[in-house]
């Protein structure tokens, strides 16, 4: 018997209409655990680097995490992996809600999709009964509308539905997959779903999940719930209220304009605070938020209400969570009222709430600079708000200039030329980032932005504070009950972190210390992403209930696999290096690892070069950021090093090309 997981994947060939239930190898669970880890192994094994994102040979994987569906609080993440049309690298985008647990209860750990359907279809999974159904009547429908129509059609109101909107159907590079209470938004997973001709997946499951040692597991769950209550009663002092508790940043529950205008200094943020922000305006924004939120909501088996049901007068109801609350307002230089209105349409279209507003703002900037003209954008409105609606509609339909903008700011700038490249200023590896403009370079954040395989800062950072506390006594108070650190030395690192002025060189944390902090934060995210745990309860917030000390107990009691801190750390590093290996094999190199040029006001090229060099060495990678043969073999990834040697990506111990690579070169 398999514990915590079902031991079966659902393999769907959309070209042939073939459906298979396939048993999985328990050895893969021991090595990679599940979720992101086993997704990466499947992509490595079955998607060669020559495969393009919109090829029938590209896979689209919907994966539950190892602990999804168990009583573990917050274990509800679906990890969706594919090759991104935007970055041409591995994409892994996560969504919460109820989809992953429902899939587990239907009897499957993953859905692996390949091929392309000749007609638009949707997938209906009802325990052991799996059907590919005609979805042509759903073509052009909104993502949330589609979910409602499918539930009605199936006469199954409890079915969990993940669907794409018009953006996914038209392969917009930043199309999302919407799932009611959550979405997989980043890196274009919705575009790949649309390319495969799949409108939606509906799932209903009523089976059981077995736990190896249930009494021990439930005791651990109760400890987590008790700690969550303690943290709720004792918010962290010295940080903004929006991140003082746990869960995703409480954008929906707390109104904190100072947080938005100091930490999100992009678009109209600084303008709002410095030039026209008044008590009257702030009151209006607060009233807007309070008037449209019907109620706070949470994901499966989680007490943290991080999202909210938005009911704007005259518009269909939708869900909003976290940072998307302000991204459209920041891009359009307008207000919260406009953000809530346009976000509803964007959610139905199924687009990412970070890339989309930035791409639209990029187009407006090019128009105002004369790089795009009325000839490029016939009928472009003069009204600011109408411009953004106009652009959104054009993008999701790929009409006119929208066909260019639908590929994101990087690819659009390359196509437009005429200096447009200078306006695509917030991308890493061709992917739009969280809209931040800050002052001093932060060594830790430089490394996370530059080297994270997620290519999305909110899925890399966490646990270590974003900035030093002003006074040492505040830092001393913070570290007193900081039990989550993997080693006591991190407490000292924080105690020694002094605030610095605008004119000071940011040489602390040092490259060595910054590398250790980033490694810790990455480790926790990779553990979460393989277990299906919400980052809001583990890797992202300060002092979370799940951390490196209690996770091994959950894995051991849940699965029966003997696990300790060292073993779990090794799994996280194995998965981290395997995801990187997929990207390295697809061409990613050191030259790609750099944050946006104008992200920080003050930059230090020599320090940045030293940071990368030190971090690579710390991780066991060579000067190009490629994991060495020794590192790979130590982690049980010898098959990766063999492939790298054959391709000439790595060389042998003497520093010359391997025999296999030389022979292959001679053949060519």
CATH number, position 505: 1.10.599.10
DSSP letter assigned to residue 272: I
Say what the pLDDT of residue 544 is.
97
Distances in Å between the Cα of 117 and the Cα atoms of 96, 121, 355, 502 are 27, 7, 28, 56
Residue 276 — very low, low, confident or very high, per pLDDT cuts 50/70/90? Answer: low
List the CATH number of the domain containing 358: 1.10.569.10
DSSP letter assigned to residue 127: T
Residue 37 — very low, low, confident or very high, per pLDDT cuts 50/70/90? Answer: very high
List the CATH number of the domain containing 129: 3.60.9.10
Q: Identify the domain boundary among 400, 432, 464.
A: 432
Query: 336 lies in which domain range?
Result: 216-432
Assess whether pLDDT exceeds 80 at residue 233.
yes
Based on the domain organization, do 505 and 563 belong to the same domain?
Answer: yes
Q: Look at 202-216, 257-271, 360-374, 426-440 and tell me which has the smallest mean pLDDT.
A: 257-271
Say what the pLDDT of residue 602 is.
79
As given in the structure block, the two tokens for residue 262 are: 């100091």
Residue 142 and residue 599: Cα distance in Å, rounded? 35
Say what the pLDDT of residue 575 is.
98
Assess whether pLDDT exceeds 60 at residue 270.
no
Assigned domain for 21 exists: yes
The predicted model gives 476-486 an average pLDDT of: 96
Assess whether pLDDT exceeds 50 at residue 188.
yes
pTM score of the predicted model: 0.95
Assigned domain for 267 exists: yes
Assess whether pLDDT exceeds 50 at residue 644.
yes
Neighbouring residues of 473: CB distance < 8 A, sequence distance ≥ 6: none
Q: From 29, 56, 50, 52, select the one nearest 41 (Cα to Cα).
A: 29
CB 221 within 8 A of CB 520: no
Say what the pLDDT of residue 598 is.
72
Say what the pLDDT of residue 274 is.
58
Distances in Å between the Cα of 285 and the Cα atoms of 203, 204, 330, 385 are 39, 40, 13, 17
- Count of domains for the chain: 3
Assigned domain for 210 exists: no
**Residue length, the chain?**
668
Based on the domain organization, do 488 and 419 belong to the same domain?
Answer: no
Based on the domain organization, do 184 and 105 belong to the same domain?
Answer: yes
Say what the pLDDT of residue 264 is.
63
Based on the domain organization, do 479 and 427 belong to the same domain?
Answer: no
The predicted model gives 365-381 an average pLDDT of: 97
Q: Identify the domain boundary among 432, 464, 492.
A: 432
Based on the domain organization, do 526 and 411 belong to the same domain?
Answer: no
Residue 542 and residue 149: Cα distance in Å, rounded? 41
Say what the pLDDT of residue 499 is.
85
Chain mean pLDDT for the chain: 92
Based on the domain organization, do 343 and 491 belong to the same domain?
Answer: no
Exposed e or buried b for every residue in 405-421, given b needs 16+ CB within 10 A? Answer: bbbbbbbbbeebeeebe
Residue 262 — very low, low, confident or very high, per pLDDT cuts 50/70/90? Answer: low
What tens digit of pLDDT does each residue of 77-105 get?
A: 999 999 999 999 999 999 999 999 999 99
Based on the domain organization, do 90 and 24 belong to the same domain?
Answer: yes
Residue 258 — very low, low, confident or very high, per pLDDT cuts 50/70/90? Answer: low
Assigned domain for 349 exists: yes
Residue 665 — very low, low, confident or very high, per pLDDT cuts 50/70/90? Answer: very low
Residue 400 — very low, low, confident or very high, per pLDDT cuts 50/70/90? Answer: very high
Assigned domain for 655 exists: no
Based on the domain organization, do 401 and 423 belong to the same domain?
Answer: yes
Based on the domain organization, do 389 and 483 belong to the same domain?
Answer: no
Assigned domain for 356 exists: yes
DSSP letter assigned to residue 354: T
Decide: residue 158, CB within 10 A, 0-12 exposed, 13-18 middle, 19+ buried.
exposed
Assigned domain for 641 exists: no
Assess whether pLDDT exceeds 50 at residue 657.
no
Assigned domain for 666 exists: no
Based on the domain organization, do 323 and 398 belong to the same domain?
Answer: yes
Q: Look at 163-167, 185-189, 270-274 and tell me which has the smallest mean pLDDT.
A: 270-274
Based on the domain organization, do 178 and 308 belong to the same domain?
Answer: no
Say what the pLDDT of residue 668 is.
40
Based on the domain organization, do 189 and 270 belong to the same domain?
Answer: no
Q: Look at 424-428, 634-638, 643-647 and tell me which has the smallest mean pLDDT.
A: 424-428
């Amino acid at each position: 018997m398999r514990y915590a997981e079902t031991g079966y994947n659902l393999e769907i060939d959309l070209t042939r209409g073939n459906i298979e239930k396939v048993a999985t190898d328990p050895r893969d669970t021991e090595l990679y655990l599940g979720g992101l880890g086993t997704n990466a192994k499947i992509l490595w094994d079955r998607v060669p680097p020559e495969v393009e994102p919109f090829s029938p040979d590209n896979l689209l994987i919907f994966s539950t995490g190892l602990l999804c569906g168990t009583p573990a609080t917050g274990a509800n993440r679906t990890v969706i992996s594919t090759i991104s049309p935007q970055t041409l690298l591995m994409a892994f985008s996560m969504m919460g809600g109820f989809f992953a647990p429902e899939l587990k209860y239907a009897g499957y750990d993953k859905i692996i999709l390949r091929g392309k359907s000749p007609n638009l279809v949707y997938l209906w999974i009802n325990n052991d009964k799996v059907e590919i159904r005609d979805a042509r009547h759903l073509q052009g429908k909104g993502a949330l509308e589609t979910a409602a129509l499918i539930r009605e059609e199936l006469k199954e109101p409890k079915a969990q539905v993940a669907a794409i909107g018009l953006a996914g159907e038209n392969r917009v590079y930043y199309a999302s997959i919407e799932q009611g209470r959550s979405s997989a938004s980043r890196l274009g997973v919705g575009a790949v779903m649309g390319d495969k001709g799949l409108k939606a997946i509906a799932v209903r499951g009523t089976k059981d999940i077995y736990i190896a040692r249930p009494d021990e597991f439930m005791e651990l769950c109760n400890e987590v719930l008790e700690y969550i209550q303690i943290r709720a009663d004792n918010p962290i002092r010295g940080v903004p209220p929006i991140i003082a508790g746990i869960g995703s940043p409480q954008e929906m529950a707390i109104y904190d304009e100072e947080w938005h205008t100091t930490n999100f200094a992009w678009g109209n943020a600084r303008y709002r605070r410095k030039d026209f922000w008044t008590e009257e305006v702030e009151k209006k924004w607060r009233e807007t938020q309070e008037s449209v939120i019907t109620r706070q909501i949470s994901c499966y088996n989680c007490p943290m209400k991080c999202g909210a049901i938005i009911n704007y007068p005259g518009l269909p109801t939708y869900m909003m969570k976290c940072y998307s609350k302000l991204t459209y307002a920041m891009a359009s230089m307008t207000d919260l009222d406009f953000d809530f209105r346009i976000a509803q349409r964007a959610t139905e279209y199924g687009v990412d709430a970070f890339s989309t507003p930035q791409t639209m703002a990029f187009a407006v900037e090019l128009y105002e600079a004369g790089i795009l003209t009325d000839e490029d954008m016939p009928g472009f409105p003069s009204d600011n708000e109408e411009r953004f609606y106009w652009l959104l509609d054009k993008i999701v339909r790929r009409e006119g200039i929208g066909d260019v903008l639908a590929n994101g700011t990087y690819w659009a700038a390359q196509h437009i030329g005429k200096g447009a490249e200078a306006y695509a200023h917030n991308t890493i590896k061709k992917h739009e980032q969280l809209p931040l403009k800050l002052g001093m370079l932060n060594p830790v954040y430089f490394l996370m932005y530059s080297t994270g395989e997620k290519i999305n800062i909110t899925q890399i950072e966490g646990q270590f504070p974003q900035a030093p506390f002003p006074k040492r006594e505040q830092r001393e108070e913070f570290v007193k009950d900081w039990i989550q650190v993997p080693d006591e030395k991190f407490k000292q690192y924080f105690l020694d972190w002094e605030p610095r002025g605008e004119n000071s060189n940011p040489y602390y944390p040092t490259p060595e210390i910054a590398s250790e902090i980033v490694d810790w934060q990455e480790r926790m995210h990779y553990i979460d992403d393989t277990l299906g745990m919400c980052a809001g309860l583990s890797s992202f917030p300060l002092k979370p209930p799940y951390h490196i000390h209690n996770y091994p107990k959950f894995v051991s009691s849940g699965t029966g696999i003997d696990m300790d801190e060292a073993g779990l750390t090794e799994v996280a590093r194995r998965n981290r290096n395997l995801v990187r290996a997929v990207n390295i094999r697809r061409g990613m190199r050191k030259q790609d690892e750099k944050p946006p040029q104008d992200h920080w006001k003050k930059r230090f090229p020599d320090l940045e070069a030293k940071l990368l060099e030190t971090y690579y060495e710390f991780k066991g990678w060579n000067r190009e950021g490629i994991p060495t043969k020794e590192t790979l073999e130590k982690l049980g990834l010898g098959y990766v090093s063999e492939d790298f040697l054959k391709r000439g990506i790595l060389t042998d111990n003497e520093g010359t090309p391997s025999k296999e690579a030389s022979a292959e070169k001679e053949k060519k």
